[in-house]
Structure 1
Amino acid sequence: MTVALMWEARAAEGRGGELLAWAREQRLDREPLRRETFRAPRDRVLVITWWAEPYDAVVPELPEPEPGLVTRAVHRWRFEAVASE
């Protein structure tokens, strides 16, 4: 089974590059099968990690950034793989 964790944050005004760098520097307690980092308009950053674990497994997640770096709390979602193409 594979579970994917999504971590998404929106940077404070003018701090998108800083948030992106911060997210890329974060190390987890163990390595996922795969990790990808994305950026989007309005200074949003998305990190997806894939784990060979059941849906409800305890796996490392990126933390909340320091206050002032983001405009709101981080959004987090968990998905279970059902097909691969």
Structure 2
Amino acid sequence: MWEAKAAPGQLTRLRDWAVDALGDRDGEVYLSHQRAGDLVVVIVRTTVPPMPTVPPMPTVPPGLTTGAPHAWPFEQVHPPAAP
């Protein structure tokens, strides 16, 4: 999972960048509208064990985010992932 807070006025550009950066990998891009700032959240699905330790997304172009993006691996437990 990867999430970044959009810089003021940059939500659309950050969203579009995230969609392009996800490319043809299996995953989804979500928006979350928060009082503290809008977020772009990307779920990158992988079936490669062990879970990857590299960042799931490339470096964001300057000016699109407030602060550094956060990324962490997680494992789906319910419903069970397809083999």
Under a length normalisation based on structure 1, what TM-score does the superposition of the two structures give? Answer: 0.75
Taking the TM superposition and a 5 Å limit, the aligned residue runs for 1:1-85 are 6-27=1-22, 31-32=24-25, 34-41=26-33, 42-57=37-52, 61-84=56-79
State the Cα distance separating 1:80 from its structure 2 match.
1.6
Q: Does the 8 Å CA contact 2:27/2:43 hold for their aligned counterparts?
A: yes
Tell me how far apart the structure 1 counterparts of residues 58 and 16 of structure 2 sit (CA, whole Å). Answer: 14
State the Cα distance separating 1:75 from its structure 2 match.
0.3
- RMSD between aligned residues: 2.2
Which structure has more relative contact order (CA 8 Å, sep 6+)? It is: 1
Aligned residue identity for 2:29: T
Q: Does the 8 Å CA contact 1:8/1:46 hold for their aligned counterparts?
A: yes
Change (3 A) 1:48 1:27: closer
Q: Which has the higher strand share?
A: 1
Identity %: 38
Tell me how far apart the structure 1 counterparts of residues 71 and 63 of structure 2 sit (CA, whole Å). Answer: 19
Q: Which runs of 5+ in 2 are unaligned?
A: none
State the Cα distance separating 1:13 from its structure 2 match.
0.6
State the Cα distance separating 1:81 from its structure 2 match.
2.2
